[in-house]
């Protein structure tokens, strides 16, 4: 049945629109037709992947340490391969994690905030089976079940090894203390930072015969602001005990090298004729006053300033200050 408005209703409707009491529906703006698109300056949509040589060296050292630790603990040959380091948003990273997952939250003092180590579910069950004497090659149903108390206790042994190896890998760049916080199964409860925050993702594939799984280290970029410049520079290799010993010997030998130490009382400019006429008793006036500081030179370089005097019957110099810039007066 058709509903027709009366003239009074039409007039009231037009009056409401013109008076602002009734809002007119806005037409949607076609951004493509206008040649621009909306952009949120508070959120960077695209993450620029940057090279971090120091972080790559730390990742390589961690991979080699974990390979040795797991092989020794499980008493079998284990191979680890690392994937390229990636920068990703934490929210996008969490969405890729299956349930259940072994999520280990830890802190890297003195860095602020928390970080995350993720063990793939099939790797967890493979490690547990190896600890209990199995081969780790049988198929286990992962979905729909949580880790038992025994499984969590056994996997904690592996986590302690990983955290210890991570602490050693970081030692050359930044000595730190890794502290275990807690373990989670559901990725929704492992919130170490905001979903839009950028994190560093380091993945390692673990190969034990036919069993393959992955270990992932996730560190928020904001945690590493204090060493960000170091991460972007070329990594300096760790000094061995032999290198430290050689450096100590060279330092001691350099300290024993004789160095000429000269104190300049003053200078004067006179003509060659005046020099030829000099006799015993003549006085040459220097440019310095008796209370001025005298420069002291070590191996020809001005190093100290001091005042002359006598100490135990010998001429001496009392050092007043150290010269930081020899080119300045």
SS3 249: helix
Cβ atoms of 233 and 121 within 8 Å: the answer is no
pLDDT at 219: 93
d(CA 117, CA 132): 23
Query: Where are the chain's structural domains?
Result: 53-236, 248-272+286-322
- Give the 3-state secondary structure percentages of the chain, helix then strand then coil, rounded to 5: 35, 25, 40
Q: Considering the domain 248-272+286-322 in this protein, what is its CATH number?
A: 2.30.330.10
Please tell me whether residue 222 adopts helix, strand or coil conformation.
helix
User: Would you state the pLDDT for residue 21?
Assistant: 54
At the topology level, CATH places domain 53-236 in Chemotaxis protein chec (3.40.1550)
Q: Which two tokens stand for residue 42?
A: 């508070």
Phi, psi for 39 (deg, rounded to 5): -140, 130
Check residue 1 and give its pLDDT: 46
Tens of pLDDT, residues 89-141: 999 999 888 878 889 999 999 998 999 999 988 888 888 888 877 765 556 65
The phi, psi pair for 285, rounded to 5°, reads: -85, 125
Q: 52 near 59, Cβ under 8 Å? A: no
Which residues of the chain are under the pLDDT cut of 70? 1-5, 10, 13-48, 135-145, 210-211, 234-242, 329
Q: What is the pLDDT of residue 107?
A: 94
260 contact partners, CB below 8 Å, separation of at least 6: 297, 298, 299, 300
Token pair recorded at residue 112: 């602020």
CA 94, 96, 101 angle in degrees (round to 5)? 75
């Amino acid at each position: 049945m058709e509903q027709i408005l009366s003239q009074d209703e039409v007039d009231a409707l037009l009056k409401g629109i013109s008076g602002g009491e009734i809002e007119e529906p806005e037409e949607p703006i076609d951004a493509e037709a206008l040649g621009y698109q909306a952009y949120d300056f508070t959120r960077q949509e695209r993450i620029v992947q940057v090279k971090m040589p120091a972080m790559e060296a730390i990742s390589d050292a961690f991979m080699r340490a974990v390979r040795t630790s797991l092989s020794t603990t499980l008493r079998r040959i284990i191979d680890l391969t690392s994937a390229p380091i990636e920068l990703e948003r934490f929210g996008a990273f969490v969405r890729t994690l299956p349930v259940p997952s072994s999520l280990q939250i830890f802190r890297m003092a003195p860095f602020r905030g928390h970080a995350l180590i993720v063990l793939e579910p099939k790797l967890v069950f493979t490690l547990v089976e190896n600890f209990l004497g199995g081969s780790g090659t049988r198929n286990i149903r992962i979905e729909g079940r949580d880790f038992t108390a025994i499984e969590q206790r056994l996997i904690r042994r592996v986590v302690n090894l990983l955290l210890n190896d991570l602490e050693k890998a970081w030692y050359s760049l930044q000595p730190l203390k890794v502290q275990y916080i807690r373990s989670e199964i559901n990725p929704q409860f492992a919130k170490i930072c905001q979903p839009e925050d950028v994190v560093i993702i380091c993945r390692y594939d673990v190969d034990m015969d036919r069993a393959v799984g992955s270990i992932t280290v996730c560190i928020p970029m904001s945690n590493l602001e204090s060493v960000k410049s170091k991460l972007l520079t070329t990594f300096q290799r760790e000094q061995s005990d032999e290198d430290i010993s050689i450096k100590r010997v060279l330092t001691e030998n350099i300290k024993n090298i004789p160095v000429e130490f000269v104190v300049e009382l003053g200078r004067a400019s006179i003509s060659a004729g005046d020099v030829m006429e000099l006799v015993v008793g003549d006085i040459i006036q220097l440019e310095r006053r008796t209370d001025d500081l005298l420069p002291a030179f070590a191996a020809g370089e001005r190093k100290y300033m001091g005042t002359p005097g006598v100490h135990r019957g010998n001429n001496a110099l009392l050092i007043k200050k150290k010269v930081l810039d020899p080119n300045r007066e």
